[in-house]
Amino acid sequence: MSGFTKYDSRADLFKGLADVVEAQLRAALTQNGRATLAVPGGTTPAPFFEHLRHADLDWANVTVLLTDERFVPETSDRSNTRLLRENLLQDRASKAVLVPLYQPADTPEDVLTNLQSGVSAVLPLDVCVLGMGADMHTASIFPEADLLAEALADDAPVVLPMRAPNAPEPRLTLTAPVLRGAGNVHILIAGAEKQAAFDQAWAAKTFMEAPIKIVQEQAQTHYAD
């Protein structure tokens, strides 16, 4: 499934996306007895999580991971893991299994091998929901990131550390082959600035200048003003 859905309101957007993701997780659970869901952090997805956590699913067999994480402890209000614990892994979804994209250490490189093996064990993703920045980054694949080319490569490791001018702290990110390899990919964006960036990405010539482009054709995009 791909395409662009414009919802009448942000309330409809978050509920609409949650309904679609719930149905796709249910289908994966029915087919395989388990399902893997990747979700973004940042400021947009909390209301989507609040809907999804009430879904009547066999959550004990659902693995949840972030598309990317800031290299900060869970005590930080910039922690995407904290956002997930507080907004998604609650109510029915409290039974889901979280695969971490952060471990306390001095640098992301110190914990990379561990995080990579945790993620590798639960691939491919059944459902991947991605955010996008106004600079057309997705996950933590930023246009000017240090390991941009490595993260876009077909043979990229599943997780890479990332440092970029637009990111205040080091990141850990799922890489392009993992995002593209998901059974279902969704992009969640809200507001005119994001819509303009999304259109700009269609026109961009390379993935390097517009990393969201790596999934733009295959994704279902969900938008409200």
Residue from 5, 22, 42, 50 touching ligand 6PG (CB under 6 A): that is 42
How much of the chain is in helix, strand and coil states, percent to nearest 5?
40, 20, 40
Binding segment toward ligand 6PG, per CB under 6 A, in 16-24, 92-100, 108-116, 129-137 = 129-137
Q: How many CB atoms lie within 10 A of CB 217?
A: 10
Residue from 72, 89, 139, 182 touching ligand 6PG (CB under 6 A): that is 139
Is 221 a residue that touches ligand 6PG (CB under 6 A)? no
CA proximity to 60, closest of 98, 88, 22, 13: 98
Map the footprint of ligand 6PG across residues 51-90, applying CB under 6 A.
Answer: 67-68, 70, 80
| Cross-strand partners of 64 | 37, 98
Is 126 a residue that touches ligand 6PG (CB under 6 A)? no
Whose tokens are 């110190």? That residue is 110
Minimal CB distance residue for ligand 6PG:
131
Is 40 a residue that touches ligand 6PG (CB under 6 A)? yes
**Quick one: 36 or 80, whose CB is closer to ligand 6PG?**
80
DSSP H or E stretch at residue 31: helix 10-32
Cα–Cα dist 15/100, whole Å: 26
Binding segment toward ligand 6PG, per CB under 6 A, in 19-27, 41-49, 85-93, 197-205 = 41-49
| Cross-strand partners of 128 | 38, 185
Minimum gap (Å) between residue 171 Cβ and ligand 6PG: 7
Q: 3-state DSSP call for residue 223? A: strand
Query: Which residues of this chain interact with ligand 6PG, rule CB under 6 A?
Result: 40-44, 67-68, 70, 80, 131-133, 138-140
